[in-house]
């Protein structure tokens, strides 16, 4: 399944049915009077966040969603049938924007959350409603109300607790593969990650979700490389994990590039809690590790941890540090595997 996080849709609610002009016609009943029924209400367009989806790819192949019109009223005081509603099923974390891509209509962050996008038109009144003492045979009925037609944008922002940031080939995908069941592409060249990946990691009996986004480069906020196309997926994260490649010859510059790009993007990313990690320490000796950590701290990193995603050294400490920044309400208890032996 391909990943798609932005889609344009065209919606239209149903128009209401017209009211009916009718008079009672029965044998032996003279001057039966008006009995025209009302038109039915047009169908509405709704959006609902559902479980099991993490992409908007379905909206690439269908962009038009039109609800049914209400049916006209009928004689014998019969109201026309209502039009059927139409439902757009979207992943949790989907923002619904107006045509200008700036006005936020709704933000669906929980399973089952629904929002009305376009209300169906009301049905018109039949001539029965216009009967009075001075007008006992009205030949008037209202037309149905027109439906609402809109152009909307759907923008997906993944629901994750931790966001991975760093330059290409900093080891983000390796870390995600080593700590979760996710299997992102891992290779020894940059830009192996072309779309966000999610993984569920566990530590000390609890689980949380980590999002790996494509690597940033200098000028990403201006559209270079993959740009800031995927930074929106970490706006909801509680903490950012900033991985710095310990084998790079430009360590401080690499660190500062990511810090500057987060600040240039805005949306509060620069103010989020951040855990800075010196990665790939399996290629360094003890003296080099201490020297590089001191350099990062001198560049502005408050606390630098050390880790190797390949060997697993230090990964558990990093996970514990991330957990300390996540609210208890966002953590989930880790499922116990019955096949594993119990340990005190």
Helix (H, G, I), strand (E, B) or coil at 332: strand
Task: Tell me the C-alpha distance between 186 and 193, whole Å.
Answer: 8
The CA angle 130-123-131, to the nearest 5 degrees, is 10
Query: Is residue 198 within 8 Å of residue 182, measured between CB atoms?
Result: yes
Quote the pLDDT of residue 275: 92
Task: Tell me the C-alpha distance between 138 and 145, whole Å.
Answer: 21
Quote the pLDDT of residue 342: 40
Quote the pLDDT of residue 334: 63
Residue 182 burial (CB count, 10 A): 16
Quote the pLDDT of residue 192: 56
Query: Is residue 297 within 8 Å of residue 277, measured between CB atoms?
Result: no
Quote the pLDDT of residue 81: 97
- In tens digits, the chain (344 residues) has pLDDT values of 467 889 999 999 999 999 999 999 888 888 889 999 999 999 999 999 998 888 898 999 999 999 999 999 999 999 999 999 999 999 999 999 999 999 999 999 999 999 999 999 999 999 999 999 899 999 999 999 999 999 999 999 887 889 898 888 888 888 888 888 766 656 554 555 666 778 888 888 888 889 888 777 776 555 565 556 677 788 888 899 999 998 888 889 989 988 888 888 887 888 888 999 999 998 888 899 999 999 999 888 888 999 998 888 999 999 999 998 888 767 766 655 544 444 43
Query: Is residue 131 within 8 Å of residue 34, measured between CB atoms?
Result: yes
User: Residue 295 phi/psi, 5° resolution?
Assistant: -65, -45
Predicted TM-score of the model (pTM): 0.78
Quote the pLDDT of residue 50: 94
| Dihedral sign for Cα atoms in the order 278, 180, 221, 103 | negative
Query: Which contiguous run of DSSP H or E holds residue 203?
Result: strand 197-203
Q: Would strands 206-212 and 86-91 be described as parallel, antiparallel, or unpaired? A: unpaired
Domains of the chain (ranges plus CATH)? 1-156 (2.70.210.12), 162-333 (3.40.50.300)
Helix (H, G, I), strand (E, B) or coil at 51: coil
Residue 169 burial (CB count, 10 A): 21
Query: Is residue 143 within 8 Å of residue 124, measured between CB atoms?
Result: yes
Query: Which contiguous run of DSSP H or E holds residue 11?
Result: strand 6-12
Task: Tell me the C-alpha distance between 3 and 14, whole Å.
Answer: 32
């Amino acid at each position: 399944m391909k990943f798609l996080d932005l889609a344009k849709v065209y919606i239209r609610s149903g128009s209401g049915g017209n009211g009916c002009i009718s008079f009672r016609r029965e044998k032996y009943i003279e001057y039966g009077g008006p009995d025209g029924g009302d038109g039915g209400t047009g169908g509405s367009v709704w959006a609902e966040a559902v479980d099991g989806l993490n992409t908007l790819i379905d909206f690439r192949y269908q962009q038009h969603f039109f609800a049914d019109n209400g049916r006209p009223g009928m004689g014998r005081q019969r109201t026309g049938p209502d039009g059927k509603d139409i439902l757009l099923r979207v992943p949790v974390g989907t923002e619904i924007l107006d045509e200008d891509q700036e006005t936020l209509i709704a933000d669906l962050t929980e399973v089952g959350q629904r929002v009305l996008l376009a209300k169906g038109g009301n049905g018109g009144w039949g001539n029965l409603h216009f009967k009075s003492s001075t007008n006992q045979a009205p030949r008037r009925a209202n037309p149905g109300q027109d439906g609402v037609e809109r152009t909307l944008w759907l923008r997906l922002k993944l629901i994750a607790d931790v966001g991975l940031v760093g330059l290409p080939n900093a080891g983000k995908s390796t870390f995600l593969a080593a700590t979760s069941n996710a299997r992102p592409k891992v290779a020894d060249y940059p830009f192996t990650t072309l779309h966000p990946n999610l993984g569920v990691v566990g530590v000390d009996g609890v689980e949380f979700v980590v999002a790996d986004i494509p690597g940033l480069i200098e000028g990403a906020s201006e559209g270079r490389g993959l740009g800031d196309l995927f930074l929106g997926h970490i706006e909801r994260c509680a903490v950012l994990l900033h991985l710095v490649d310990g084998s790079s010859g430009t360590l401080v510059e690499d660190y500062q590039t990511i810090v500057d790009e987060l600040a240039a993007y805005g949306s509060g990313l620069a103010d989020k809690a951040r855990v800075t990690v010196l990665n790939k320490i399996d290629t360094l000796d003890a003296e080099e590790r201490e020297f590089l950590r001191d350099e990062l701290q001198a560049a502005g990193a408050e606390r630098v941890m050390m880790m190797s995603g390949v060997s697993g050294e230090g990964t558990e400490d990093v996970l514990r540090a991330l957990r300390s920044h996540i609210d208890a309400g966002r953590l989930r208890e880790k499922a116990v595997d019955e096949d594993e032996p119990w340990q005190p």
